[in-house]
Homo-oligomer: A and B are copies of this chain.
Amino acid sequence: MDSDTQTEVLKRLAYIEGHLAGIRRMIEHDTYCVDVLKQTYAVRRSIEKMEAKMLDGHLHHCLLDAIREGRSEQSFDELVELYRIANK
């Protein structure tokens, strides 16, 4: 991962960890389940945005390098596999 992407992704991860800590407190203090669920949905969205950031870095760096070095086939297969897993 290039350094800019890494910095940005770690920042987003810290935010997600903080959000989950907040959700832990909500559950411990017996917050209404529906309100907790809305927060866990928001966490999943934040993770997806962090993933998009990683993917962006991956394409611009790892993929471009791979293609230049003649390893495009393997990289494309990885991307399609990621797509399948992301959509389960």
Residues of A within 8 A of B (CB): 1, 6, 9-10, 13, 16-17, 20-21, 23-24, 27-28, 30, 32-34, 36-38, 40-41, 43-45, 47-52, 54-60, 62-64, 67, 72-73, 76, 78-80, 82-88
Contact = CB atoms under 8 A, between A and B. Distances in A.
- Residue from A33, A57, A59 whose CB has the most chain B CB atoms within 10 Å: A33
A40 B1 CA distance: 15
A86 to B, nearest CB: 6
Copies of this chain assembled into the complex: 4
A7 to B, nearest CB: 10
8 contacts: A1-B36, A10-B27, A33-B54, A34-B78, A45-B88, A55-B79, A59-B76, A64-B67
